[in-house]
Structure 1
Amino acid sequence: MRILIVAPEQIPVPPPLGGSVEITILALAKQLARKHRVTIVSRAHRRYPRHSVIDGVHIHRVPSGTRETYLSNVKKFIRGKSFDLVQVDNRPRFVGPIKQMSPGTPVSLFLHSLTFVSPPYATRSSAAAGLSQADIVIANSTSLKKQLSARFPGSAGKIRKVWLGVDTLRFTPPGKRNSDRAFTVLFAGRVIPRKGVPVLLKAIKLAQKSARRPIQAIIAGGSPRPGYSQRMRALALKLRVNARFLGTVPHRRIHRVFRKADVFVCPSQKHEAFGLVNVEAMASGVPVIASSNGGIKEIVRHNRNGILVRRYRQPQSFATAIAKLAGNKALRLRMARAARRDSLRQFSWQATAARLGRIYKART
């Protein structure tokens, strides 16, 4: 098949720093390119040429600016070209205009969350129009599929679930850890209110009371609001929690940070469609303690590869889980081995691309 993937206008492919949607686009494209001819159209960036080839994937970059400017340039790129299928990532409003240009070509809408089918990015009617015009809608978890089906029942029959994946060759367990050092709790993600960093810091403060080893936190991620990040640093100082704030870590280096962790904590306070950082932790041989919400529950298996926290708005619930793993090395190692096995079996990019390829082949 000749597959065109239309990336969003915000971050180029590959992402210079990070961006789970753009990371997913390139990882899947590389795998699909083993059997198909894959082209990505993405926004231009001063670091990249207008056209490049990465592992067989042709990436064409067009000027962006506003969403309307980007869409206009995407349409110029498409004009006169022929594809067997077009995949649009996270932009329902792009589906109709692209469909009009190639009325006989199936268009897939790959949704990574509810963000761009919700206000302020979309009204219920405009999002419904985008889904209705798509031939296939891909959701990255059963949870997201259910949410979309309930919100847009007219499109429920065309929604398919495809889990995301992880580069299991890059995200690998470290060598032997020094058990005398501080117990290291890692958070990786955007430092924004919905991600629950205050809950984590308060939980570490509580867990330290019963832990035999000192506990340190590594917070890897930037914030679109510098003032919020500063407040988190101030909170850590106030609580006397030993926390290192790394700021934004480029994704090409983030695997090294995962190897420093004894446990990964994902204290999300709102619905997570999937949670890519959790499978990256698992592939790194790190047990996951995570909020029991959304697609996270499909990844983290309670008491197998990690611990699910039902009362995830309460720091004490996370503190109990952190203290449990800090004090039980055998349990922690058992979960670490299970996490790595599960990532290899269920969450490799090869498995993700194979599932997506079967869906697309059946539609073309």
Structure 2
Amino acid sequence: MKIVIVAPEQIPVPPVLGGSVEIAILAVARRLAKRHSVTVISRTHRKYPSKSIIDGVTIRRVPTGSPSYYLSNVKRLLRGMSFDVLQIDNRPKFVAPLKRMFPRAKVSLFLHSLTFVSAPYASRSQARNGLVAANVVIANSSSLKRILAARFPQAASRIRKAYLGVDTSRFRPSGQRISARGEIRILFAGRLIPRKGVPVLLKSISLARQRIGRPIKVVIAGGAQNKGYGGSMRSLAKRHRVNARFLGSVPHSSIHRVFRQAHAFVCPSQKHEAFGLVNVEAMASGLPVIASNIGGINEVVDDGRTGYLVRNYRNPSAFADAIVRLFRDPARYREMSVRARHSAVNRFGWSATAARLTQIYRNK
């Protein structure tokens, strides 16, 4: 098949720092390119040429700005091209205009979250029009698929699920052993925004340290769009006497090294997470995951086997309970570490994502 993937207008492919959608686009494209002709259209960036080839994937870059300006440049580039599948990631507003332009192509809308089918990015009618115009809608979890089907019943019959994946050769266990009395290192990776739950994490570390009787260090890898919010998180850590290291934004090309220095990963999300790519990256790195039981996270983390799911996820004490439970039982910790890696390798490889998309595009 000849496949064209249209990335969003905000972050370039490959991402300079992070961006889970753009990370997923390139990872899937590279696997698809082993059997298909794949072109990715992305925004320009001063670090990248207008055209490049990465592992068989052709990346074409056009000027960006507003979504409508970016779309006009995408359309200009596509004019005269022919292809079998046009995959549009996370931009339902792009679907109808591009479907009108290429009525014979299979147009796919790959949704990574509810963000761009919700206000303020789209009204209910605008989002519905995008989903209905697509030949197929891809959701990255069963949770996202259920919500989309309930919210947009007109498109329910065309929604399919395809899990995201992880590079299991780059994200892998370090082989280090955790000592019975040494410092525990806990990692959080994600944007410093309220919905990610960093205040809950910091308070839970303070409570767990008092109960477990061992030093705990939390490493926070992620930048803050709002400098004031980032500063308030640092102040909160000091107020609760938490040994916290704020790394700021870490390029995804090197984030695997940060995972390999941790003993466990905590994902205290406070709002729906469609999938939670960082949890799979943690599991591939051999880290048990303690995460909010919300959205599609429970499709990734197997409660009691690869980590712990926290149902009362707004309560720091609930996360503290899970942290204490994990590190008070060294044998259980080692078992979870092995199972986490095994689950990531067997269930969430990018090749499996590419194979699933190929199946969907050939059958639809």
TM-score band, normalised by the shorter chain?
A: over 0.9
Q: Is the 8 A contact 1:6 1:40 kept in 2?
A: yes
Cα distance in 2 between the residues matched to 1:175 and 1:199:
29
- Structure 2 CA distance for aligned equivalents of residues 132 and 239 of structure 1: 50
Structure 2: distance between partners of 1:206 and 1:50: 51
2:242 matched residue in structure 1: 241
Once the 2 structures are TM-superposed, how far is the Cα of residue 175 of structure 1 from its aligned partner?
2.0
> Offset of 1:181 from its aligned partner?
3.5
The answer to whether the Cα contact below 8 Å between 2:178 and 2:263 also exists between their aligned partners in 1 is no
Counterparts of 2:119 and 2:250, CA distance in 1: 29
- C-alpha distance in structure 1 between counterparts of 2:363 and 2:25, whole Å: 21
The equivalent residue for 2:28 is 28
TM-score (norm 2): 0.99
Deviations 1:269-290 (A, max 9, x none): 0000000000000000000000
Q: Deviations over 1:154-176 (max 9, x none)?
A: 00000000000000000000022
Q: Which residue does 1:98 correspond to in 2?
A: 98
1:39 equivalent in alignment to 2:39: yes
Structure 2 counterpart SS, 1:289: strand
Aligned to 1:252, the other structure's residue is in SS state coil
Per-residue CA deviations over 1:284-336 (Å, capped at 9, x if unaligned) read 00000000010001000110000000000000000001111122211111000
Map 1:1-364 onto structure 2 (within 5 A).
Answer: 1-177=1-177, 179=179, 181-363=182-364
Q: What is the DSSP-based 3-state SS (H/G/I as helix, E as strand, rest coil) of the residue aligned with 1:251? A: coil
RMSD, aligned CA? 0.7
Residue aligned with 1:209, SS: helix
Amino acid at match of 1:188: A
Counterpart Cα distance in 1 of 2:61 and 2:283: 33
Name the SS for the 1:216 alignment partner. strand
- What is the distance in 2 between the residues matched to 1:270 and 1:328? 30
Q: Secondary structure at the match of 2:75?
A: helix
| Letter matched to residue 272 of structure 1 | E
Which one-letter code corresponds to 1:330 in the other structure? Answer: A
Q: 1:108 Cα shift?
A: 0.1
Instruction: Tell me, yes or no, if the aligned pair for 2:42 and 2:60 is still in contact at 8 Å.
Output: yes
Amino acid in structure 2 at the alignment position of 1:213? R
8 Å Cα contact 1:96/1:130 also seen in 2: yes
CA distance in 1 between counterparts of 2:352 and 2:233 reads 38
Tell me the distance in 2 between the aligned counterparts of 1:189 and 1:256: 15
Question: Residue by residue, what CA displacement relative to the aligned partner does 1:200-246 show, whole Å, maximum 9, x if unpaired?
Answer: 00000000111132111000100111110100000000000000000
Q: What is the alpha-carbon distance in structure 2 between the residues aligned to residue 361 and residue 132 of structure 1?
A: 19
| 3-state SS of paired residue (2:99) | helix
- Counterpart amino acid of residue 54 in structure 1: I
Q: Which moved more, 1:212-221 or 1:228-237?
A: 212-221
| Total equivalences in the alignment | 363
Following superposition, the deviation at residue 361 of structure 1 comes to: 1.3
Any conservation in 2 of the 1:212–1:327 contact (CA below 8 Å)? Answer: no
- What CA distance in whole angstroms lies between the structure 2 residues aligned with 1:24 and 1:43? 16
SS across alignment from 2:295: coil
**Aligned-residue identity in percent:** 62
Q: Name the TM-score, length of structure 1 as normaliser.
A: 0.99
Kindly indicate whether the alpha-carbon contact (under 8 Å) linking 1:88 and 1:108 is maintained by their aligned counterparts in 2: yes
- Does the residue aligned with 2:253 lie in a helix, a strand or coil? helix
Deviation string 1:324-359 (CA, Å, 9 cap, x unpaired) is 112221111100000000001100001111111110
Structure 1 residue 178 displacement after superposition: 5.1
Aligned to 1:210, the other structure's residue is in SS state: helix
Distance 1:27 1:105 in 2: 23
Is the CA contact 1:285–1:339 (under 8 Å) kept in the aligned structure 2?
A: yes
